[in-house]
Amino acid sequence: MTEAPAPREGLLHETRAGYGDTDQSGIVHHAVYLRWLEDARATWLREHGIDFRAMERDERAGFAVWKAEVRYHLPAFFDDRLHVELWVGELGRAKIRFDYRVWREETLLLEASVHLACIDLDRLRARGLPQSVRDALS
């Protein structure tokens, strides 16, 4: 979980809250954000030249979420235009942690950390990060 305020330097993935993302309390449902963080991760991979579909298909390497921490500061509403800020918080041999902030204009709505482990998709077992990911990160 990020503690210190930081300038927006990472990737900014744009999304918009749909009607079906809300629940009857009138705000975006808390589970929806995990999907948005994931979409931001896909954008990050794409923009770093990593072909995740090929990685899964050819190398049989995927990512499994093994830990997620989310701090909900303020609600998002239907039709809000939002930005997901994303950066690599920690990088190991087989693990990677992405840190996130979700913004509506200048308002911070949410902070999160999602811890991923690289897995062999056929055996659902841990393995090292593919070289293509390492290259993109250095």
Q: Which residues bind a second copy (CB under 8 A)?
A: 16, 18-20, 22-27, 29-32, 34-35, 38-39, 42, 46, 52-53, 56, 62, 64-73, 75, 77-79, 121, 124
Provide the minimum distance between the beta carbon of 60 and a second copy in the complex, in angstroms, as a whole number. Answer: 11
Provide the minimum distance between the beta carbon of 54 and a second copy in the complex, in angstroms, as a whole number. Answer: 11
Nearer residue to a second copy within complex by CB, 33 or 85: 33
Q: Tell me if 71 sits within 8 A of 1, measured CB to CB.
A: yes
What are residue 72's DSSP bridge partners? Answer: 110
Provide the minimum distance between the beta carbon of 102 and a second copy in the complex, in angstroms, as a whole number. Answer: 14
Task: Identify whether 23 is a catalytic site residue.
Answer: yes
Smallest CA-to-CA distance from 35 within 43, 24, 25, 23 is with 43
Smallest CA-to-CA distance from 109 within 136, 89, 93, 85 is with 85
Which of 21, 23, 80, 120 is catalytic? The answer is 23
Nearer residue to a second copy within complex by CB, 30 or 134: 30
What's the CA gap between 80 and 91, in Å, rounded?
32
Q: Which residue type sits at 34?
A: L
List the catalytic residues: 23
